[in-house]
Amino acid sequence: MAEADLITRSPRFSVVVPTYNRAGFLEKTIRSVLDQDFDDFELIVVDDGSTDDTSGIVASIKDSRITYYWKENEERAVARNVGTALSKGEYVTFLDSDDMLYKDHLLIADEAVENHKNPEWFHLGYEFLDARIDLKRTVDYMPAIANKKLIEGNHISCRGVFLRRDIAKAMPFNPERELSGTEDYELWLRLASRYPLYCDNRITSAIVQHEDRSVVTTDRRKLERRIEILESSVLGDQEFVRKFGSSVGKFKANNRVYIALHLALGGEREAAANYLFRSLKCSPSALTNRAFYGTLKRMFLK
């Protein structure tokens, strides 16, 4: 290959890391990317207005594959979209700044690109770890083509999703700030309405759940608003309605179970019970959702 081609050729992958005040976690996350067995990638760190030493942490890591970009705070969706706009890779993937990739993550992703002949998007398995890096649970149960599975809830993870760059640029994350926390699910549903979602269940990355990371939303108004925006967006998408119109009741039922579970975890038992009832009115399929029974369990815990 000529030297000019080596200079101008796009990398296989662009790994976009949006970050906000995660200086204490960021270096480990970056190192997990740089230590990949597959080295044809670029790493784009989008600093979403951090006020800690994020810039210093990135500057201390000397590697030509890293691009650092600072912007005013606008939440994760916008930060990810900025990273996509800056990307040069054939595929774009997103990694939160307190999570990690295992060494074979990009190598297995490259295999997936070849096996599925340059798909629009695909997903790799992942796991949840606690702050001590002990295993909590794995997500290695997705069907080979998982579009219908997404109606049941957001089973997939940003760090496991790979989007072909043309698709990522044509279909960005919804920047609505009140959707934050569900912006990824909203995008996955739009994508699943248009393209097959191929899944490889090998575990290649981890979500690290620590004290500074809130995985439960207990503000009822904000939670209700998030789901309202989610449903308004996807139900207003003709492709979603065409693909999943017969499953809208199930989709709404699972969203109400999701709200109920969060309310139960926050101690709002009566409100949680109300949402479980509303889920059944949307569809009896709510009874097949494991979170329905998890919510009941939480409601009756003293």
Distance, in Å, from the CA atom of 197 to the CA atom of 122, rounded to the nearest integer, reads 5
3-state SS of 193-256 is: CCCCCEEEEEEEEEEEECCCCCCCCCCHHHHHHHHHHHHHHHHCCHHHHHHHHHHHHHHHHHHH
- pLDDT value at 244 more than 60: yes
**Stretch 115-128: mean pLDDT:** 97
Across the chain, what does the average pLDDT equal? 93
Domains within the chain, CATH numbers bracketed:
3-209 (3.90.550.10), 220-299 (no CATH)
* Residues 175-211: tens digit of each pLDDT: 999 999 999 999 999 999 999 999 999 999 999 987 6
Least confident of 43-52, 159-168, 206-215: 206-215
CA dihedral of residues 72, 76, 77, 81 (deg, nearest 10): 60
Residue 6's pLDDT band, with cuts at 50, 70 and 90, is very low
Confidence of residue 212 (pLDDT cuts 50, 70, 90): low
Per-residue confidence (pLDDT) for residue 209, from 0 to 100? 82
Q: CA angle, 128 as apex, 122 and 130 as ends, to 5°?
A: 155
- Containing 71, the helix (H) or strand (E) segment is strand 66-71
pLDDT tens-digit profile of 82-104?
Answer: 999 999 999 999 999 989 999 99
Given a contact cutoff of 8 angstroms between Cβ atoms, the answer to whether 87 and 165 are in contact is yes
- What pTM, to 2 d.p., does this model score? 0.93
Tell me: pLDDT of 61 over 90.
yes
Give the 3-state secondary structure of residue 76: helix
The pLDDT score that the predictor gives to residue 4 is 47
226 against 6, higher pLDDT: 226
Give CA 157 to chain center in angstroms: 4
- Checking if the pLDDT of 2 tops 50, the result is no
Rounded mean pLDDT, 128-154: 93
